[in-house]
Structure 1
Amino acid sequence: MSTATAELKPFETTVDQMLVHALAHWPDELFIAADGVELTYAEVGARVDALARGLTALGLAPGDRVALWMSNIWEWVVAQFAVTRCGAVLTPLNTRLRSDDLAHALHDSGARFLVTQDHAGEFSYLATVRGLVESGRVPALQQVVVARPAAGLTAPFLGWDDVLAHGQASAAAPRPAQDPQQLAYILYTSGTTSLPKGVMLSHANLNNAFRTRRRLQRGDFNFLVFPLFAITGCHNAVLGALLVGAGLVLQQRFDAEEAIELIERYRCKALGAIVSVLPALLQAMNFRADRVASLEHLNVFPRRPQHVPLFQALGVQSVSAGYGMTETAGPLSFTEDMTDAGLRTEGTPWPGTALRIVDDAGQDLPDGSEGQILARSPQVMLGYFNQPEATAQAIDVDGWLHTGDVGRRDAEGRITWVGRRSDVYKSSGFNVASAEVEAFLGQHPAVAEVAVIGVPDADKGEVGAAFVVAQPGQGIDLAGLRAFCQGQIAGYKTPGHVVVLPAFPKTTSGKVRKLELRATHFGHLLSA
């Protein structure tokens, strides 16, 4: 830890205090490079203050929820810190959400403000939000701030510059949180129920960034492909960089050839992405090893022995991994061990973090045995927003988070993640509840019954496989089902496989035998 960062106390610092500290110690270092715009820490700080004053003038109060739905652009980072400068609660939303998903997150969080952008490529954020507002599905939403508007706006929509003008005309000052235990972020993640739950993270929880900043130093650049809305973006990358004076290089949408140019231009030292990004870089027309020679470190998902040739082709010195989830503000464990054995684990817990492997009765299991992973750490969430029963089920009276994940521990104390106990799979790094996808697909007029499972996928970790019993006289295929999903649910929730069956194998109580479906139709993938 640098001398400057040592002035801050881990798990006793608010997000705004992190920003104030950075502005005092490295104002002239480049913080954000995105869309041809370069912003130093001082320039980001000035824009944060201007936006925070504008939001305050519009009535944003401490504790209000502010949803943030936009691509990896510089305005995202400014809005992130402006919201916390106001003492409000940041609610990042997945850019792949579509109308149904978005309506749920906005309604469930009770967000009074939404910060978004006009469009990204051919997709219109503005049109999607306008449709929800006009339908009356998000009654709590009072103000929608639009970055980069293409045309004039009418209430409740307001352009970014208009918000800044409100701040200039007002004497009202923002009031940042002072207590690290206060709620800072709500991030939505799928669990075992049919709809995503809001994970409440305090400022103290987010101090896990003191750990994720590893290997970055003042003036280093991290090429970030992970989305800012995910814990790997807004927390691991942004707050981690903030604590050491590092910079972030962003793309609104990943483009391999442009990525090569940016990595070379900024001499990026680190890269954060899902592992499928690496082949795209290596296969880019303009790729040469010398153009990415500055890269020393990768933070990728997943990280296993079969990926070593990719790491070697990029010439990196280290590749990090860890076990964690949104509910734990990022990784609970960490490793850079590049041995074959090390690449098969997620490392050892951070100091002050305890992980247990237990059986169904909650009894600790011996090393090498598979069981549920329990975690107790200052990183563990406050709970699920407005869901006390779900919170009580997840965090027991002794403070142990029941993760719902299956894992094992070896004799060296290293944790290996095996999979989910519940009916949840992880696609492109995001949890997907089978029940949520099943509920949506069940609305298709040709679907009589549907069951969804996660199956291995080389690029995404897992993808959904939808088993369908069709309505009498109806037909259904993958293309038709994917078209039905288009624009309604997030792309990573859309099935990658469809299997049409005359009937499902079921238990005597009427439950679909998903293990049988998995073994019969995708056993070759599971044993690969």
Structure 2
Amino acid sequence: MTIPLLVAEAARRHPDQPAVVDGDIRVTYEQLAGLVTETARAYAARGLRRGDRAAIWAPNRLEFILALLGAQSIGAIVVPLNSRYRGHEAATVLARSRASTLVLANGFLDIDFLGMLRTAAAESPGQAGDGPIPGLPHLHTVVDLGGQPADGVLGWPDFISGGRSVDHDRFEAMVAAVTPDDICDIMFTSGTTGVPKGVLTAHRQTIDVARVWAERAELSTADRYAIVNPFFHGFGYKAGMITAITAGSTIYPVATFQADELLELIQAERISVLPGAPTLFTSLLNHPRLAEYDLSSLRFSVAGAATVPKSLFQRMRDELGFTSVSQAYGLTEAVVVTQSLPDDDPAHIAETTGPPVDGMELRIVDPAGDDVPAGDEGEILIRGRNVMLGYFEDERATAETIDADGWLRTGDVGRLDEHGCLQVTDRIKDMFTVGGFNVYPAEVENVLATHPEVSESAVVAKPDQRMGSVALAFVVPRGGSRPTEDALIEYCRARLANFKVPREIVVRDELPKNASGKILKTKLRPAAKEA
């Protein structure tokens, strides 16, 4: 139940099995274990110790896997940074976590990550320090995966070669000292609704989450797992990378999502497992040359979000060829809470995210904290062995989120059906009132998703003098269609109570999203106020 033992066990059980295929690079599990050890020794040579923080700011690639597993192998705590962060966002997390080491991919997407970071850190108050990034005094080592490292920054080959000087016995003692209860990562929340908080998770929890996910997916050594979900996110890291290692499956890191390239990868490498945000599958389904690709290898997928078009799962089966599709519900503070069963009815999967996974339990409560009957909406509370240990150096936020009995308030709204399966209906913070009646945007978005000319939508509140607020919908058309505002409003009017019907619909070519595929309603709300 520690990361170093997990990697060693995978190498013992599947030495010749491909572990990672990253473009032309192919690494077996035995080779992966060797590379992870080299990386761990390199960290040790640079002074990283048990409990120190090592940040990673890079896209999905082999070196990300090595950087993460290598740090955890000597008891260091990994802090993954969103690869879409700008300089100030990255500097904030690095400063708050007091990371001593940073691995970054400068030049990814033609962005000068190092330059952004240095500019932002220089503006921060406090001691400048004598490290490679003035303004971040705790950061003593920066490793660049790009081609030409700047002054004071190590290239990956030089970083790795430095590990050869580490004493063998001392290194082995560092690895042996790692325990299941040690913190293995600090996952900072996305920050789309405020200041991000660092979620603390132990080795045993990260591995158990992966084991549970692998069992529900019936993952095996025969599977080829394309991981589009970012490694900096729990979906790509724990339900992706670590899950694949627990099952001995082959990892295919996908740095950026391009529908053409992903379809070609599925065909060429016979990809069998492909989870993702609903928008990923919508993009594939809307691809003009979808029928030209051989997707017969696809076996299993999870599409999970607050809003999943009910028709999506059937289309994933019928048009993409998945033999098994499911929904799941999780959050940074627990990663996987519920997941559909492999043999569940497709119609039921479209309605719910399934029952709680092994080791987790949930309740639906009203504002007073009392349980509500099955079928009624309320806030989702969760409890179990894989709920976070707490927020990094924030006892107040931890106490506000987890009560004395261990129940964590998710801030999500949902209901349980008669089988104990969860349907997530919305975020509490997204709910708004129209004339005193509560409107949950996901309900309106689900209706819009059934319209044949709508690819995706996002509903936010628009201020209204008479009603307080009304619904405003941003819509992306499907294919080459161009639905009219009047037609979409009438479509909603026929399916929703009047107070839920959007008063205005704005058609856009795309909606703003973060790197995890979540629609950023925080970027849409200002437009709603001006509309």
TM-score, normalised via structure 1 length: 0.78
1:331 corresponds in structure 2 to 337
How far has the Cα of 1:35 moved from its partner? 3.0
Aligned counterpart, 2:110: 122
Match of 1:355 among 340, 351, 362: 362
Alpha-carbon displacement from aligned partner over 1:61-107 (angstroms, at most 9, x marks no partner): 10001111101111111111001012100111111111222122111
Change (3 A) 1:369 1:117: same
Q: Percent identity?
A: 31
Task: Describe the SS at the equivalent of 2:110.
Answer: coil
Structure 1 residues 271, 424: CA separation in 2 closer, same or farther (over 3 Å shift)? farther
Q: What do the CA deviations read for 1:5-43 (whole angstroms, capped 9, x no partner)?
A: xxxxxxxx1122111110111021111112322111122
Match of 1:147 among 135, 141, 145: 145
* 2:212 pairs with 1:211: yes
1:43 aligned to 31, 42, 58, which one? Answer: 31
Give the partner amino acid of 1:210: R
Question: What is the Cα deviation at residue 138 of structure 1?
Answer: 2.7
Where do 1:248-259 residues align within 5 Å? 248-259=251-262
Equivalent pair of 2:458/2:521 in contact (CA under 8 Å): no
Instruction: Name the Cα RMSD after superposition.
Output: 3.1
Q: Pick closer, same or farther for the CA change 1:52–1:497 going to 2, 3 Å.
A: same
Name the CA shift for 1:464/1:48 in 2 (closer, same or farther; >3 Å): farther
Q: Does the 8 Å contact 2:458/2:519 carry over to 1?
A: no
Please show how residues 499-510 of structure 1 align to structure 2 within 5 Å. Answer: 499=527
- Asked if structure 2 preserves the Cα contact closer than 8 Å seen for 1:221 and 1:267, the reply is yes
Contact 1:260-1:286 within 8 A present in 2 as well: no
Do residues 163 (structure 1) and 159 (structure 2) align?
yes
* 8 Å Cα contact 1:65/1:112 also seen in 2: yes
Indicate the larger mover: 171-180 or 75-84.
171-180
Structure 2 residue aligned with 1:525: none
Residues 379-435 of structure 1 deviation map (CA, whole Å, 9 limit, x = unaligned)? 10000001101101111111111111111111111111111223599xxxxxxxxxx
Which segment drifts farther, 139-148 or 53-62? Answer: 139-148
Q: Is 1:305 aligned with 2:302?
A: no
Q: 1:283 to 1:413 in 2, by over 3 A?
A: closer
Which residue pairs with 1:106 in the alignment? 94
SS of 1:356's partner is: strand
Compare 384-393 and 330-339 and name the one that shifted more: 330-339
5+ unaligned residues in a row in structure 1: which ranges? Answer: 1-12, 426-452, 469-477, 503-520, 522-528
Matched, 1:222 2:219: no
Name the SS for the 1:196 alignment partner.
coil
Matches within 5 A, 1:183-194: 183-190=183-190, 194=194
Counterpart position of 2:474: none
Give the whole-Å Cα distance in 1 for the aligned partners of 2:327 and 2:190. Answer: 22
Aligned residue type for 1:316: F
Change (3 A) 1:191 1:408: farther
Which residue pairs with 2:7 in the alignment?
A: 19
CA separation of 1:332/1:380 partners in 2, compared to 1, >3 Å: closer, same or farther? farther
C-alpha deviation, 1:161, in angstroms: 1.0
Please tell me whether the aligned partners of residues 338 and 353 of structure 2 are also in contact (alpha carbons under 8 angstroms): no
Alpha-carbon separation, structure 2, partners of 1:314 and 1:193: 34
Paired residue secondary structure (1:269): coil
In 2, Cα distance between equivalents of 1:465 and 1:189:
24
- Aligned partners of 1:27 and 1:108: how far apart in 2? 39
Q: In terms of mean alpha carbon deviation, does 108-117 or 184-193 score higher?
A: 184-193
State the number of aligned residues.
Answer: 448
- Deviation of the 1:130 alpha carbon: 3.2
The 5 A counterparts of 1:14-413 are: 14-135=2-123, 136-148=134-146, 150-155=147-152, 157-171=153-167, 173=171, 175-176=174-175, 178-190=178-190, 194-206=194-206, 207-213=208-214, 214-284=217-287, 287-288=290-291, 291-302=294-305, 303-307=308-312, 308-336=314-342, 337-413=344-420
1:57 positional shift: 0.6
TM-aligned CA deviation for residue 289 of structure 1:
6.1
